[in-house]
Amino acid sequence: MKKLFNIYLLLTILFFFTGCAGVWEFLGEFVDKFAYGFSDKVPDNTNVLLSSSYLEKALEYEKNDKLQTALFYMQIAGTLNPDSTIIPEKIASLKSTIDHKANQHFTTGVEFCKKRRFKDAQGQFLTTLRYAPGHEEALEYLKNRLHPKEYLNYKVNEKDTLKGISKKFYKDPSKDFLIAYFNNLKTDKEPVPGTILKLPVLGSEFTRPTIDIRIELKKAENFLKEKRYRKVLDVAGKILDYDKSNKAAEDLINTAFCQQAKHLTIRKNYTEALNVLNRADPQYDCVEKTISNIKKSMKKQAEVHYLKGVKHFLNEELQSAIKEWEKTLALNPEHNKAKKNINNARSLLEKLEKVK
């Protein structure tokens, strides 16, 4: 019975943070995995395995900076495996991270307010609420201290819900708490039809459509396997527009740059390959190594052109020799023999012209 109560409590928390869609998504997984019911006859190791599964999901959400969702899944993991000593530590650590990030953005918002940079302050307070939806001080600043204040009036229709209105205006149902706060409503009660609501106007960066990062990452990974590098950059770039700190998307972009540069190197498009890598993060593991390999290939190819030039020179084909040595210098500007040989060949050509 206690287990049932804990599950009910967690469902209530999920509804608060993710809305109906999140609840039904969770229920679908939950029913599948608990097909044998909640009786005490379920082996303990089954719960431990399920706990590991939810902990893995929690860590994935944490990696993508969806900390409230990560916390929810960790709490599920803890409920399924109450004997774990690791999960409570992870929950405590995640709560600490949430508090730290929320307070960090709140403090920055306050500083922006003091400098009268109200739009920047609004962004910081909204980010604070993403980490801690109940942050009263951030809500207070958004409601009463930011100037100028901009609102849209909205008349509630018969079938309207706070989440529906939020999705319509902000393209994000989870911002229903903002509408509730600015209109002195409770998020667990729907507005009365005919009521005029004040909807705070948010910058475009806070009203962009939500995306499923896991799905988009999978798309980018598949494009990378198919060597469709431009598609990788497009999809991963969209993820970073939505979540600027997404490490997986950054990794995909830099890996795409490295792989594209390698293929260009094979085709001897060395300059283009280096230009591609100029767009990559120089701190990324493969970038420095790939640049080094490209430069080695350029030196080898420079030597090929140098020897061709020598062959032309010996055959008294001075113009052709000079062209090959110029190609040598284009690939390896430090090739002193090619520089010297070009000067000698040009000097010989001048003497031959005078003789004629």
Inter-axis angle of helices 118-131 and 86-114, to 10 degrees? 170
Residue 324 above 90 pLDDT? Answer: yes
222-251 tens-digit pLDDT: 999 999 999 999 999 888 877 777 889 999
CATH topology of domain 299-355: 1.25.40
pLDDT bracket for residue 325 (50, 70, 90): very high
- Chain-centroid distance of CA 153 in Å reads 34
Please name the residue that has the structure tokens 């939806």.
Answer: 133
Residue 134 near residue 105 (C-beta atoms within 8 A): no
Whether residue 235 contacts residue 202, with contact meaning beta carbons closer than 8 Å, is answered with no
H or E element, residue 33: helix 2-33
CA distance 129 to 106: 9
Domain coordinates in residue numbering, the chain = 2-84, 150-210, 213-281, 299-355
Q: Are 217 and 248 in contact (CB under 8 A)?
A: yes
Residue 144 pLDDT more than 90?
no
CA distance to 71, 103, 113, 117, 171, per residue, from 124 (Å):
22, 10, 10, 11, 19
Residues 6+ apart with CB under 8 A from 49: none
Give the separation between CA 350 and CA 318, rounded to whole angstroms.
Answer: 11
What is the mean predicted confidence (pLDDT) over 52-73?
Answer: 86
Which class for 125: exposed (0-12), middle (13-18), buried (19 or more C-beta within 10 A)?
Answer: buried
Three-state DSSP state, 151: strand
CB 305 within 8 A of CB 328: yes
What is residue 260's predicted lDDT score, i.e. its pLDDT?
93
Q: How far apart are CA 139 and CA 121, in angstroms?
A: 12
Residues with Cβ within 8 Å of 167's Cβ and at least 6 positions away in sequence, in order, are: 173
What average pLDDT does range 147-176 have in this prediction?
80
The amino acid sitting at 23 is V
> What are the residues facing 152 on neighbouring strands?
199
Check residue 62 and give its pLDDT. Answer: 87
With a CB cutoff of 8 Å and minimum separation 6, the contacts of 75 are 10, 13, 91
Tokens of 43: 């082996």
Cβ(62)–Cβ(70) below 8 Å: yes
Asked whether the predicted pLDDT for residue 184 surpasses 80, the reply is yes
| pLDDT interval class at 356 (50, 70, 90) | low
For residue 257, is pLDDT > 90?
yes
| pLDDT band of 112, cuts 50, 70, 90 | confident
pLDDT for the residue 223 = 93
pLDDT at 320 over 50: yes
pLDDT averaged over the chain?
81
C-alpha to C-alpha distance for 141 and 109, rounded to whole angstroms? 9
Query: Does the domain made of 150-210 have the CATH classification 1.10.3470?
Result: no
Residues 224, 230: Cα–Cα separation, whole Å: 9
**Could you say which DSSP state residue 157 is in?**
-
For residue 147, the model assigns a pLDDT of: 54
